[in-house]
C-alpha cells in the first residue's frame, strides 16, 4: 500500500483534524482506504453501493445514488435502504453522502 493511498482514496469532507491526535487520524485514513479497496473488489450490486454510501467510501467518486441505481437497473431507494440498514446495524452516523433526516 502506498503511503498516500488513504489520502487520495478517502477524506471526510467535514472532519476538523485539529480535534484529533494525528495517530488516530492516520489509522482512520488507513482503515477507510482498506475498506474502500475491499468495496472496489465487490461485484456491482445495491449492497456494495449501500455500504459505500454508508461509510462515505471514495469508490463513489461523487456519483449520486440515482446515477448508480440507473447503472445497476435498480432504484435509488433500494441503495439508500441498504445504506441506512448498514448504518443502523453497526451503529454508525450517516455519512456526508447520505441525506440527514430532519
Residue appearing with cell numbers 498516500: 4
Has this prediction a pTM greater than 0.75? no
What's the CA gap between 37 and 9, in Å, rounded?
9
What's the CA gap between 91 and 28, in Å, rounded?
17
Q: Are 36 and 12 in contact (CB under 8 A)?
A: no
The burial of 78, by beta-carbon neighbours within 10 Å (0-12 exposed, 13-18 middle, 19 or more buried), is given as: middle
Supply angle C-alpha 48, 16, 2, rounded to 5.
55
Average pLDDT for runs of 10 along the chain of length 102:
44 56 83 90 95 89 93 96 95 85 57
Amino acid at each position: 500500500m502506498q503511503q498516500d493511498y488513504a489520502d487520495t482514496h478517502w477524506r471526510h469532507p467535514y472532519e476538523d483534524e485539529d480535534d484529533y491526535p494525528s495517530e488516530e487520524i492516520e489509522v482512520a485514513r488507513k482503515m477507510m482506504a482498506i475498506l474502500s479497496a475491499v468495496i472496489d473488489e465487490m461485484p456491482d450490486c445495491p449492497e456494495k453501493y449501500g455500504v459505500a454510501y454508508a461509510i462515505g467510501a471514495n469508490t463513489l467518486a461523487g456519483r449520486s445514488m440515482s446515477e448508480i441505481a440507473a447503472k445497476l437497473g435498480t432504484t435509488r431507494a433500494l441503495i439508500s435502504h441498504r445504506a441506512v440498514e448498514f448504518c443502523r446495524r453497526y451503529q454508525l452516523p450517516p455519512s456526508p453522502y447520505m441525506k440527514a433526516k430532519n
